[in-house]
Structure 1
Amino acid sequence: MITSPAFAGKKYAVLGLARSGLATVDALLESGADVVAWDDRDEARAKVAGRATLADPLAIDLAGFDGVIVSPGVPIIRHPIRTKAEAAGVPLIGDVELFAQARASLPAHKVVGITGTNGKSTTTALVRHILDTAGVPALMGGNIGLPILSRDPLPEGGVYVLELSSYQIDLTYSLDCDVAVLLNITPDHLDRYDGFEGYAASKARLFAMQGPGRVAVVDYAAEMAHRVLDDAEDPMIQFISDVVIGDQAAWPALQGPHNAQNVAVATAVARALGVGEAAIEQGLRTYPGLPHRMERVAEKGGVLFVNDSKATNATSTAPALAAYPKIHWILGGLPKTDELDACAPHYAHVVAAYVIGDAGPMFARILRDAGKPVTESGTLDQAVRDAAAAAKPGDVVMLSPACASFDQFRDFEARGDAFRAAVEALA
């Protein structure tokens, strides 16, 4: 795990004992810190009992504490811990900030920070894969994979590639990224911010934390609309739209216009880190993709089956429909809206649709009104069978639901796993 002598003898409160909270407790204790920990769940508290002091930070005097570490899931804008910590003069921070403070004691390394509304996970994983391909020690963390403090430090010359949500950036104050990335900004999480501009300002803080001469890879539209670089200290700016990339058809797991942007970003980051063009191209060719995100799960009888279960709204489904010319589209679930407007520009790619779940009847009406053939399959298993029976060699059967999963599945991962199992069960 990542530890630091900078934490020795200090006193911290940790609120929330999910994966990142438990990793934080372990790292602080191993570093010689005094830790008070709390979670409302008995089973979570039991995991640190006997090692950390169990007490609710809202119920104790925080005077003299060096920090209160909260989970990114804690809505700090309205949570009482914010007022309590401010009254005591104690900073409210997250595990990424602790990583930033521990950097001085780690072997010489670089950090890439990647944020944006959409595409963070794919881009983070792609950068890590390109670095692996180039023989550069690298790991990814933050909002993806294992908690960053639970990872073993990289050897000298390594690169930490961090996916950073706005929630994590809100709790971070000293992360000086060698390369900071903003993929895009669209309205999201507005219940946590003072409007869209408040959300955009959170993303912009990633650049304000950079030292002079660092690299900023930025979406031009976001910069023009929100001036995200205004507080940055003389960065080397690379606009994503200016990055020249090669033949996207050569990268099987990176199809669609959204992945063209992800490729441009990963290419810009890799170049900034000194990776050669041959290694970049090899990394793009061999990138396997992330589960449930445009994941190629099988090819049967010349038909490709693609799992895009992570697409839980029409905006995230639209790029998937743009990626292939002949799609048998499986969609539906628990609807977030009553329309599919973002997908409409790509209906010409839809050979037929197969609707499932609560949204099935509504989506069937929308698509029939648009002139598309629709089968009301009801369940995912049946939709896979229906689509596979109709698809011809060269076609794609794609699960890209444009809905949440909770009407029929625990989460989008369970839905994607069920799609894979249904495809495997086909004759």
Structure 2
Amino acid sequence: MDTLKQPNLTRDAALLPDTGEPGFGVYVHWPFCAAKCPYCDFNSHVRHQPVDQERFTAAFLKEMATVRQLSGSKTVTSVFLGGGTPSLMKPSTVSAILDGIAKHWHLPDGIEITMEANPSSVEAERFRGYRAAGVNRVSLGVQALNDCDLKFLGRLHDVADALKAIKLARDIFPRMSFDLIYARPNQTVDEWERELKEAISYAVDHLSLYQLTIEEGTPFYGLHKAGKLVAPDGDQSALLYEATQEITAREGLPAYEVSNHARPGAESRHNLTYWRYGDYAGIGPGAHGRLSRGSMKIATATERQPESWLDLVERDGHGIIDQEQLGYEEQADELLLMGLRLREGVDLARWQQLSGRDPDPKREEFLLEHGFIERIGNSRLRCTPSGMLILDSVVADLAC
């Protein structure tokens, strides 16, 4: 275990309030997991030999230098260490990564620095090491609060591990969130309501609540195709979603995004950067970025396979394999796609500036009449709760 250092006071300030601006985030992808979950199609990889963390750290820092040349000088408003399972990193690795971000961009006191963690990889000493390195928010992949479903989901932890991790996170970090997956096979509304109320009782200020989706290429997809895994139908999924919205709103954690719920002021600043269509640097295997250059925006994507990414970075200074300049219409579509996920909706003036047009009046009127969208004054447009259920269709209609 790493020797713990004293907290870096420049990263130990009270969290800054949300300004409502899109901001600039830095996302760092740690691609390794202890096991691959059967529902997961994320860029995560299992390695049965120890990962050379020092070598990967050096590569992260090298890629940061290249991305800094693309982004120009920026003030960072959030950092997110995602994966994979970032809580498999040594605290010294996390500290070096955060020091690198501070070297290449301006990293103010009090910004949100989030790390994803799995309950099976949680240790109190390691958590304190992450806190000392500067992490001030942890997001736990709990996924279920009963052992039977945790086993079905392929998780390595049980409920006792999850509750221990939640308590540790609450004691050590200023802010904490955890994920749950619902709409599991044979799950009833009553069962989900009990589980959700239990989750809220653990004094959380943020929950990410995702419906189980069957993604192509995963073990669950094969089971589903063979008829051995039956997910809830559309009507049952809608009932589960509606119960989720009702309970979280009543308990003071209303949805601020389709799948994310928070007490006022506890929203994820980093994810708001995505949904508000801000800029973000993507560092590490399989990471994506959006970087503004004048009036244009560059989309970046890196090599997904960790060792191939490592070789590219050591040879070329980065693992970027795709770099695309997005035109105004593409930016307008992405702004709409991301912004309509939010309860605060889309800034219409910004969308009109990018698209060069107003929303089609006939399409907008149809969606308004059917209660799928609503105007917020003259400046913003958002989906209603009914519209969130058919979000993709609403976006497609307005983007035409």
Shared fold per TM-score greater than 0.5: no
- The structure, 1 or 2, with the larger RCO (C-alpha pairs under 8 Å, 6+ apart) is 2
Larger radius of gyration: 1
